[in-house]
Amino acid sequence: MSGRVQGKTVAITGASSGLGRAMALRFAAEGAHVVCADVRSDPREGGEPTVDVIAASGGSGEYVEADASRWDDIDRLVTTAAAHSGRLDVMVNNAIVAGPHSKGLLETEEDDWDAIMAVGLRGVFLCCKRAVQQMLTQEPVAEARGRIINLSSQHGMIGAPGHVAYCTAKGGVVNLTRQVAVDFARRGIIVNAIAPGKILTRPADEPDTPEVLAYSHSRTPFSRLGRPDDVAAAALYLASDECSYVSGTNLLVDGGWMAY
Ligand SMILES: NC(=O)c1ccc[n+]([C@@H]2O[C@H](COP(=O)([O-])OP(=O)(O)OC[C@H]3O[C@@H](n4cnc5c(N)ncnc54)[C@H](O)[C@@H]3O)[C@@H](O)[C@H]2O)c1
């Protein structure tokens, strides 16, 4: 087998569900060893755990229970990933907490703000820091010691009506991506973000409201909303050696939302 990330070690936070799961399955299908980190192994949307699906299709992966907002957990995640082949080639910082914590300014309590920021922004900082520590110890492959992919959002660039902390965290992720890219480009670390538009990842028993779907369709020039595989395909490019001389960017996978 010779995939586009053949033999690379990839760690993904929030890999049990949604986009993290789709990226994990795609990376494994393309020959990577995928270290799937999450606070739960069962997918929010149902089905078998990501690592079980990878194993059943002949891929290579392992599950690490790790809370993206805790340094000790991320330290253990990166140490575990690097133990597989001696290096961490790709770190994907995807985990998010939003749900009932995500509200408008006047409804958001300090605890809501802290819950979203802990995973959505502080967690991305911790993961970038620990990944860079590891990557700096590695020899370059195709000019890169390592690659980092942060999941931002179209709502990191524009307002998301009624979602003040989420929107602020994602704005931070966009500029954190640029900052780490700038600081470590000369040392061979490639850092990019993916900004999904509306991708259908909600569990069947917690569906998007008709209002959310109508708003998303009204903002999306494509006739359909996004699929997790749309994001996985973009992540695969950013993770592969084909992605050269691209760093600090925020790749929109949004069906044209931000062009509208
Ligand atoms: N789905 C979309 O439309 C969309 C749009 C824009 C941006 N995004 C971004 O894409 C990423 C993935 O979104 P999704 O829709 O797949 O989310 P999701 O809610 O379906 O999955 C998130 C995963 O993160 C895990 N998680 C939660 N807290 C964690 C923690 N502390 N440590 C580790 N893992 C934790 C959850 O258990 C879950 O498996 C997020 O960063 C999200 O903000 C998604």
Domain range summary for the chain, segments of one domain joined by +: 9-253
What integer pLDDT is reported at residue 48 of this predicted model?
A: 98
Distance 120 CA to ligand 1 centre (A): 9
Q: What is the tens place of the pLDDT at every residue in 95-145? A: 999 999 999 999 999 999 999 999 999 999 999 999 999 999 999 999 999
Q: What percent of the chain has pLDDT over 90?
A: 99
Quote the CA–CA distance of 244 and 113 in Å, as a whole number.
37
Residues in the ligand 1 pocket, defined by CB under 6 Å:
13-14, 16-20, 37-40, 44, 67-69, 94-97, 119, 151, 153, 196, 198-199, 201
Quote the CA–CA distance of 62 and 198 in Å, as a whole number.
29
What integer pLDDT is reported at residue 1 of this predicted model?
A: 55
Q: Tell me which residue of 126, 107, 119 sits closest to 169, measured CA to CA.
A: 119
Give the mean pLDDT of the chain: 97
Torsion over CA of 125, 127, 128 and 131, rounded to 10 degrees? 160
Q: Which CATH class is domain 9-253?
A: alpha beta
Side chain identity at residue 190, one-letter code: I
Tell me the best of 124, 201, 217, 227 to mutate to test the pocket of ligand 1, counting ligand atoms within 8 Å of each CB and taking the most: 201
Side chain identity at residue 160, one-letter code: A
Catalytic residue among 63, 166, 245, 260, which?
Answer: 166
Mean pLDDT of 31-45: 98
Q: Tell me which residue of 251, 254, 250, 239 sits closest to 30, measured CA to CA.
A: 239
Please say whether the beta carbons of 223 and 186 come within 8 A: no
Mean pLDDT of 150-179: 98
Is 166 a residue of the active site?
yes
Quote the CA–CA distance of 59 and 31 in Å, as a whole number.
7
Cβ within 8 Å of residue 90, ≥6 positions away: 5, 8, 9, 10, 11, 27, 32, 146, 147, 148, 149, 239
Least confident of 153-157, 202-206, 232-236: 202-206
Distance 207 CA to ligand 1 centre (A): 15
Please provide the DSSP assignment of 7-48 as one string: T-EEEEETTTSHHHHHHHHHHHHTT-EEEEEES-SS-TT-SS
What integer pLDDT is reported at residue 253 of this predicted model?
A: 98
Whether the predicted pLDDT of 35 surpasses 60? yes
Q: Take atom 44 of ligand 1 and give the residue whose Cα is closest.
A: 196
Whether the predicted pLDDT of 222 surpasses 90? yes
Mean pLDDT of 244-249: 97
Q: Take atom 11 of ligand 1 and give the residue whose Cα is closest.
A: 94
What integer pLDDT is reported at residue 2 of this predicted model?
A: 83
What integer pLDDT is reported at residue 176 of this predicted model?
A: 99
